[in-house]
Amino acid sequence: MHRISLEQWRMFIAVVDNGGFAQAGDALYKTQSTISHSIKKLENTVGKQLFEVVGRKAVLTPYGESLLAAARTLVTQADALEHDAISQQSEIRTTFNLAVDILFPSNLLWSALDKLTSEHPELNIQLHETALSRCGELLDDGTVDVGIASSIPKGYVSQLASTIDLHAVAHEAHPLASGNKHTLEELEQHRQIVIRDAGLRGNINSGWLGSASRLTVSNLEQAWQGIQQKLGFAWLPAWFLEHKNTSNVVKLKLDTGHMRTVALQLAVRSELASSEVAKDFVRYLSERKNGQ
């Protein structure tokens, strides 16, 4: 631990520049006794006298003179470091924390992350795959910088990240795959495969129709496997189905329309809104979504 504080060196320089203890106190908005006590403590630490009082003026001793240049360099460097730390704190980012709901198209996400890592090669990225209310919890906890989900907590300014079309699907051997149109009441009579809310403090049953029998899973891949095993029907994103072999899967016909649409919102924590990393990520997502 340093026995001489940076503030003591500031007072030492102020006495030199202003010619006395009282004048240094005025310059630093401190009392003369505070300056005198600090200089006395500094002299006791180094073991030698730093000033001589000549008339009403404090004059450096030869030993004090030998320390002046190094003291000025120390204080100047400290001031410069403090200025850089404050003025650049929103720009110097080594870690980017991101929470993305599993419904968000993976090709859009990975394309944006590819551009982000190319632009910021030093960046460490923490990606959290979330479902339903978990993204909002991570935003509120300060765990993530950016969140994409269907539900964003109050207090955030959000923008539309993507609209997701969901289709009710089942295996071709499932009774619902008869080709007839079904009401929602008919669907309730069959087991529904639903995605578990990953939230720790809340629980949202988004998309659950109230089926008497449910199979609750953690992600889309598990829901897909449940479909393949003829364990029930599920609402799955159109983008997800496009990347699967759906030769044995049927999109169910419903009398209320053939799909549901979910709007996913993007929110950035307010203190990071000016971060170049966050702005770049949002821009890359927008470019990819718009086909640029």
Question: So where are the chain's domains?
Answer: 6-87, 95-162+263-289, 163-261
Q: What is the mean pLDDT of residues 249-276?
A: 88
Nearest-angstrom CA–CA distance, 254 and 187: 9
202 confidence band (pLDDT: 50, 70, 90): low
* Angle made by CA atoms 247, 225, 106, in degrees to the nearest 5: 85
92 pLDDT exceeds 60? no
* pTM score over 0.85: no
165 in Cβ contact with 261 (< 8 Å):
yes
257 pLDDT exceeds 70? yes
In this structure, what token pair is assigned to residue 262? 């979910």
User: What CATH fold (topology level) applies to the domain 95-162+263-289?
Assistant: D-Maltodextrin-Binding Protein; domain 2 (3.40.190)
User: What CATH fold (topology level) applies to the domain 163-261?
Assistant: D-Maltodextrin-Binding Protein; domain 2 (3.40.190)
Q: Given this chain, do its domains 6-87 and 95-162+263-289 carry the same CATH topology? A: no
The CATH classification of domain 6-87, taken from the options 1.10.460.10, 3.30.200.20, 1.10.10.10, 1.20.140.10: 1.10.10.10
